[in-house]
């Protein structure tokens, strides 16, 4: 895992081993713990579908942008179970918006290929 300093280019790491029950969530958790304990990073570990659902609710309530504000202040965002549960096209668009290159968070996906 690499940790970047302010001013360094954004790096995204996608961890996608094939198969179920291969310990992907455990690896994501371990990466997050290492980032916190050894690099003093702010880490969020989120099931992808929960992030999408929260983003859709936020938009429906007219409060869009609150989740993005939290993620911008986070050094490492670990998304779990990407590709396991379906979500709407609008939810996918919101997720893409949260993870687009202009974002300052660093997503890590611990999921199988979709």
Amino acid 21: pLDDT: 74
Unique residue bearing structure tokens 């590709």: 83
Amino acid 37: pLDDT: 96
Amino acid 92: pLDDT: 87
Cα 64–chain centre separation: 17
Amino acid 41: pLDDT: 94
Per-domain residue ranges for the chain? 13-110
Amino acid 113: pLDDT: 46
Q: 13-110 is classed in which CATH architecture? A: 3-Layer(aba) Sandwich (3.40)
pTM: 0.70
As a three-state string, the secondary structure of the chain is CCCCCCCCCCCCEEECCCCCCCCHHHHHHHHHHHHHHHHCCCEEEEEHHHHHHHHHHHHHCCCCCHHHHHHHCCCEEEEECCCCCCCCHHHHHHHHHHHCCCCCCCEEEECCCC
| pLDDT < 70 regions, the chain | 1-19, 101-114
């Amino acid at each position: 895992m690499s940790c970047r300093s302010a001013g360094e280019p954004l790096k995204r790491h996608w961890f996608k081993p094939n198969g179920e029950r291969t310990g992907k969530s455990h690896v994501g958790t371990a990466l997050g713990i290492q980032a916190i304990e050894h690099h003093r990073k702010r880490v969020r570990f989120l099931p992808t579908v929960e992030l999408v659902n929260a983003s859709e609710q936020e938009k429906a309530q007219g409060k869009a942008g609150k989740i993005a504000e939290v993620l911008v202040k986070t050094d490492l965002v670990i998304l779990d179970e990407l590709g396991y549960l379906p979500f709407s096209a609008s939810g996918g668009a919101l997720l893409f918006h949260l993870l687009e290159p202009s974002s300052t968070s660093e997503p890590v996906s611990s999921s199988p290929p979709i």
